[in-house]
Amino acid sequence: MQTTLKSKVAFDGTGLHTGAPVTVVLHPASANTGIVFRRVDLADKPELLAKWDRVIVSPLNTRLTNEDGVTVSTIEHLMAALSGCGVHNVIVDIDGPEVPILDGSAATFVRGIVNVGLTRLSAQLRAIEILKDVSVSDGPAFAQLSPSTSLQIDFAIDFADAAIGKQHKTLNMANGTFVRELCDSRTFCRSADVDAMRANGLALGGTMENAVVVDGATVLTPGGLRHADEAVRHKMLDALGDLYTAGAPILGRYTGTRSGHALTNRLLHALFSDSSACRWVNCDAKIAARLPGVGVSVADLHAVA
């Protein structure tokens, strides 16, 4: 069955790119609402459905827009937490244009969601079953969805900075894997990129507390890495969040090579432009048992930073 939160939960923080303080409140929502953001700082509180065809492509983050040009940026870590914890319906009240970056990972969102818990709604959950390979590429970057009985994410990155270098990881997202393996991995960037972003008025809220900053072979962030392969884990976290803009859990294998927000969104456009590439299926007990949020418990949370 579909789920929502048992009660509301709030998060205070700062926007990574705007540097402005912002509060997000997740509210329980009725069946078939999906993930809806609501800009409560604006007149009439405009709503933005978190869906692939409302995404503005950007290499830096995933941004939603509506027909009036209202936007909400950097939704991907919250979307990953919702997907990974199995939340299907929620209203996300936000009093600014950008979701708070918090510690650069999804751990704080996961902690809040797991602490309030979920409730089942009286409506059948549907999933998107991938029926054939669909892929997109951009130079050396590649992303693909292919048939699989559960959501698997396979990701490879190759960075010039030796502190990151080549990393490759594959995980099956069923049964709380996201919470145990991915949710505490932080955004990372190169110190030279931080300087360039600042020069363009971006990353104004960026600090050593909300991103892993590397320079060549050196990790500049105090305390170092949470995982030796934290960078690829974070890319998998981003992919899970971006894939959740499909509008439902995906039953399929995502393969990303040097992929990012823009390419994953192009992949969803390609998927839904081919009517033979996927189909909607009602989740019976067998399918539901393989979804990312099933089996998430407070015990998983103790492993989170």
Q: Which are the catalytic amino acids?
A: 261
- Number of chain residues interacting with Zn ion (CB under 5 A): 2
Residue 47 phi/psi, 5-degree rounding, is: -105, 145
Q: At closest approach, how far in Å is the CB of 81 from Zn ion?
A: 12
Rounded (10°) angle between helices 76-85 and 107-116: 40
Q: Does 3 bind Zn ion (CB under 5 A)?
A: no
Report the amino acid identity of residue 46: P
**Nearest residue (CB) to Zn ion, 161 versus 238:** 238
Q: At closest approach, how far in Å is the CB of 153 from Zn ion?
A: 14
Could you give the C-alpha distances from 153 to 48, 235, 250, 252, 304, in angstroms and in order? 27, 10, 11, 9, 20
Q: Which stretch binds Zn ion (CB under 5 A): 109-117, 142-150, 180-188, 216-224?
A: 180-188
**Nearest residue (CB) to Zn ion, 34 versus 104:** 104
Report the amino acid identity of residue 39: R
Where do the H-state alpha helices sit in 218-302? 230-243, 261-272, 285-288, 298-301
**Nearest residue (CB) to Zn ion, 111 versus 290:** 111
**Nearest residue (CB) to Zn ion, 181 versus 238:** 238
- Map the footprint of Zn ion across residues 15-74, applying CB under 5 A: none
- Map the footprint of Zn ion across residues 230-269, applying CB under 5 A: 238
Report the amino acid identity of residue 84: G
Q: At closest approach, how far in Å is the CB of 203 from Zn ion?
A: 13
Residues with Cβ within 8 Å of residue 213, at least 6 apart in sequence: 188, 189, 190, 191, 194, 219, 220, 221
Q: At closest approach, how far in Å is the CB of 121 from Zn ion?
A: 29
**Nearest residue (CB) to Zn ion, 14 versus 187:** 187
| From 144, 187, 245, 259, residue interacting with Zn ion (rule: CB under 5 A) | 187
Dist CA 220 CA 234 (whole Å): 17
Dist CA 11 CA 26 (whole Å): 9
Residue at shortest CB range from Zn ion: 238
Nearest CA to 169 out of 256, 67, 73, 292 is that of 256
Q: At closest approach, how far in Å is the CB of 248 from Zn ion?
A: 22
What are the residues binding Zn ion (CB under 5 A)? 187, 238
